[in-house]
Amino acid sequence: MTSSVLPVAPTRGRLRPLGLDEVRITGGFWARRRHTNTTATLDHCRDWMDRVGWTGNFRAAVEGRIHRDRRGREFADSEVYKLLEAMAWEAANGGGAPLDAEISALTELVAPAQEPDGYLSTAFGRPGQPARYSDLEEGHELYCQGHLVQAGVAQARARGEGELAKIAQRAADHVCATFGPGGIEAVCGHPQIESALVELARLTGRRRYLDQAALFVDRRGHGTLAEGEFGRAYFQDDLPVRRATVLRGHAVRALYLAAGAVDVAVETGDDDLLAAVVRQWEATTARRTYLTGGMGSHHRDESFGADFVLPPDRAYSETCAGVASVMLGWRLLLATGEPRFADLVERTLFNVVATSPSEDGRSFFYANTLHRRHRGVVPPADVDSPRADSGLRAPWFAVSCCPTNVARTLAQLPAYLATADDEGVQLHQYADADIATSLTGGRGVALRVRTDYPSGGSVTVRIGRSPAGPWTLSLRVPQWAAGAMASLVDPDGVHRPVAPGTATVTRVFRPGDEIRLELPVAPRWIRAEPRIDAVRGTVAVQRGPLVYCAESVDLPDGHEVDAIRVDTSVDPEDGPGATDASAGTVVVAGEVAVPTGDGDAAWPYEALGHPAPRPADPTGIVLVPYHSWANRGPSTMRVWLPTAEENRPEEPDTGTGTDTDTGIGTGR
Amino acid sequence: MTSSVLPVAPTRGRLRPLGLDEVRITGGFWARRRHTNTTATLDHCRDWMDRVGWTGNFRAAVEGRIHRDRRGREFADSEVYKLLEAMAWEAANGGGAPLDAEISALTELVAPAQEPDGYLSTAFGRPGQPARYSDLEEGHELYCQGHLVQAGVAQARARGEGELAKIAQRAADHVCATFGPGGIEAVCGHPQIESALVELARLTGRRRYLDQAALFVDRRGHGTLAEGEFGRAYFQDDLPVRRATVLRGHAVRALYLAAGAVDVAVETGDDDLLAAVVRQWEATTARRTYLTGGMGSHHRDESFGADFVLPPDRAYSETCAGVASVMLGWRLLLATGEPRFADLVERTLFNVVATSPSEDGRSFFYANTLHRRHRGVVPPADVDSPRADSGLRAPWFAVSCCPTNVARTLAQLPAYLATADDEGVQLHQYADADIATSLTGGRGVALRVRTDYPSGGSVTVRIGRSPAGPWTLSLRVPQWAAGAMASLVDPDGVHRPVAPGTATVTRVFRPGDEIRLELPVAPRWIRAEPRIDAVRGTVAVQRGPLVYCAESVDLPDGHEVDAIRVDTSVDPEDGPGATDASAGTVVVAGEVAVPTGDGDAAWPYEALGHPAPRPADPTGIVLVPYHSWANRGPSTMRVWLPTAEENRPEEPDTGTGTDTDTGIGTGR
Is the model's pLDDT at B667 over the cut of 60? Answer: no
User: What is the structure's pLDDT at A609?
Assistant: 65
> Which amino acid does the sequence have at B76?
A
Question: What are phi and psi for residue A23, nearest 5 degrees?
Answer: -130, 130
pLDDT at position A228 is: 85
pLDDT for residue B235 is more than 70 = yes
Task: Determine contact, residues A240/A277, Cβ cutoff 8 Å.
Answer: no
CA distance A602 to B343: 12
Q: pLDDT-based confidence at B582, cuts 50/70/90?
A: low
Instruction: Pick the closest to residue B625 from B519, B538, B542, B527 (CA basis).
Output: B542
In degrees rounded to 5, what are phi and psi of residue A596? -120, 35
pLDDT of residue A484: 77
What residues in A contact B642, CB-CB < 8 Å? 530, 533, 536
Q: Is A496 helix (H, G, I), strand (E, B) or coil?
A: strand
Residue B125 contacts residue B131 (beta carbons within 8 Å): yes
Q: What is the pLDDT of residues A64-120, one digit of tens each?
A: 999 999 999 999 999 999 999 999 999 998 888 899 999 999 999 999 999 999 999
A485 vs B596: CB contact, 8 Å cut-off?
A: no
Greatest extent of chain A over all pairs of C-alpha atoms, in Å: 106
B528 touches chain A (CB under 8 A): yes
Instruction: Please provide residue A455's backbone torsions phi and psi, each rounded to the nearest 5 degrees.
Output: -65, -45
Among the listed residues A281, A284, A268, the one whose alpha carbon sits nearest the alpha carbon of residue A13? A268
Question: Rounded to whole angstroms, what are the CA distances from B590 to A114, A646, B544, B622?
Answer: 67, 19, 22, 10
Which helix (H) or strand (E) covers residue B547, if one does? strand B546-551
pLDDT in tens, A405-443: 999 999 999 999 999 999 999 999 999 999 999 998 889
This complex has an ipTM of 0.85
pLDDT category at B645 given cuts 50, 70, 90 is low
Kindly report the CA angle at A248 between A246 and A250, in degrees rounded to 5?
Answer: 150
A536 vs B: CB within 8 A: yes
Shortest CA distance to B269 belongs to which of B533, B622, B611, B13?
B13
Provide, as residue numbers in chain B, all residues whose Cβ is less than 8 Å from the Cβ of A607.
Answer: 482-483, 524-527
Q: Does B226 touch chain A (CB under 8 A)?
A: no
pLDDT in the model for residue A653: 37
Q: What is the three-class DSSP state of A226?
A: coil
**HEC sequence for B2-37:** CCCCCCCCCCCCCCEECCCCCEEEEECHHHHHHHHH
B472-518 tens-digit pLDDT: 999 999 999 887 789 999 999 999 999 999 999 999 999 999 999 99
Is some CB atom of chain A closer than 8 A to the CB atom of B540? yes
Among all residues of chain B, which has the CA nearest to that of A291? B605
| Whole-number Å distance between alpha carbons of B515 and B517 | 7
Could you tell me if B79 and B406 are in contact, meaning their C-beta atoms sit under 8 angstroms apart?
Answer: no
Nearest residue in A to B479, CA atom: A603
| Closest CB from A526, A534, A663 relative to B311 | A534
Q: Answer whether A664 sits within 8 Å of B534, measured CB to CB.
A: no
pLDDT at A391: 87
Q: DSSP string spanning B468-489?
A: SS-EEEEEEE-GGGTTS-EEEE
Contacting B residues, span 320-349, partner chain A, CB-CB under 8 Å: 338-340
Q: How far apart are CA A149 and CA A153, in angstroms?
A: 6
pLDDT, mean of residues B179-191: 97
- The predicted pLDDT at position A95 comes to 80
Q: Do the chains contact at A539 and B608, CB–CB below 8 Å?
A: yes
- Across the range B88-110, mean pLDDT stands at 93
Strand ranges (E), A478-618:
486-489, 495-498, 501-507, 514-518, 524-528, 538-543, 546-551, 564-566, 573-574, 586-592, 605-611
Please check the confidence at residue B656 and state whether its pLDDT lies above 60. no
Could you tell me which residues are beta bridge partners of residue A641?
A539
> Considering CB atoms only, which of A477, A526, A646 is closest to B606?
A526
Which helix (H) or strand (E) is B518 found in, with range? strand B514-518
- Closest residue in A to B472 (Cα) is A663
Taking contacts as CB-CB distances below 8 angstroms, the residues of chain A near B665 are: 503-504
Which DSSP category does A367 fall into? B
Q: In what order do the strands lie in the sheet with A664-667?
A: A664-667, B501-507, B471-477, B424-427, B418-420, B16-17
Closest CA to A235 of B229, A247, A243: A247
H or E stretch including A438? strand A432-439
Residue B658 has pLDDT above 70, yes or no: no
Residue B380 CB-density burial (10 A; 0-12 exposed, 13-18 middle, 19+ buried): exposed
Confidence band of B607 (pLDDT split at 50, 70, 90): confident
Q: Closest Cα of chain A to B232: distance in Å?
A: 13
Averaged pLDDT for residues B291-295: 98
| 3-state secondary structure string across B69-115 | HCCCCCCHHHHHHHHHHHHHHHHHHHHHHHHHHHHHHHHHHHHHHCC
Are the CB atoms for A20 and A435 separated by under 8 Å? no
Chain B nearest-CA residue for A281: B602
Q: What are phi and psi of B487, to 5 degrees?
A: -145, 155
Local structure of residue B38 (DSSP, 8 states): I
pLDDT at B581: 63
Cα A328 from Cα B14, distance rounded (Å): 65
The pTM score is 0.89
- Residues from chain A that touch B604, judged by Cβ atoms under 8 A, are 286-287, 289, 308, 528-529, 531-532
Distance from CA of B219 to the nearest CA of A (A): 26
Angle, alpha carbons A30-A36-A42 (nearest 5°): 120
Q: What is the dihedral of CA B220, B221, B227, B231, to 10 degrees?
A: 120
Q: Is B377 exposed, middle or buried (0-12, 13-18, 19+ CB in 10 A)?
A: exposed
d(CA A122, CA A642): 50
Q: How far is A169 from chain B (nearest CA, A)?
A: 37
Chain B closest CA to A254's CA: distance in Å? 20
Contact status, residue A276 vs residue A264, Cβ threshold 8 Å: no
Closest Cβ opposite residue A498 in set B300, B308, B666 = B666
Residue B282 is nearest to which of A373, A502, A602, comparing CB atoms? A602
Supply the DSSP symbol for A394.
B
Contact between residue A256 and residue A236 where contact means Cβ atoms under 8 Å apart = no
pLDDT for res A2: 58
What is the C-alpha separation between B29 and B40, in angstroms, rounded?
17
Largest interatomic CA distance in chain B:
106
Which of the two residues, A512 and B603, has the higher pLDDT score?
Answer: A512
Q: How far is A92 from chain B (nearest CA, A)?
A: 34
Closest residue of chain A to B603, computed from CA coordinates: A286
CA distance B139 to B559: 47
Q: Cα–Cα distance between B363 and B568 in angstroms, integer?
A: 35
pLDDT score of B660 more than 80: no
Q: Which residue did the predictor score with more confidence, B489 or B644?
A: B489
DSSP state of A617: S
Contact B536 A538 (CB under 8 A): yes
Distance from CA of B536 to the nearest CA of A (A): 6
Separation in Å, CA A400 to CA A44, A75, A406, B29, B115: 12, 10, 11, 54, 46
Q: Are B349 and B326 in contact (CB under 8 A)?
A: yes
Question: Do the chains contact at B286 and A664, CB–CB below 8 Å?
Answer: no
pLDDT at B147 over 80: yes
B613 contacts chain A (CB < 8 A): no
Q: What are phi and psi of B392, to 5 degrees?
A: -145, 155
Judged by a CB distance cut-off of 8 A, whether residue A616 touches chain B is no
Residues of chain A with pLDDT under 50: 1, 596-598, 613, 647-668
Helix B96-110 × helix B141-159 angle, to 10°: 150
Average pLDDT over residues B578-596: 78
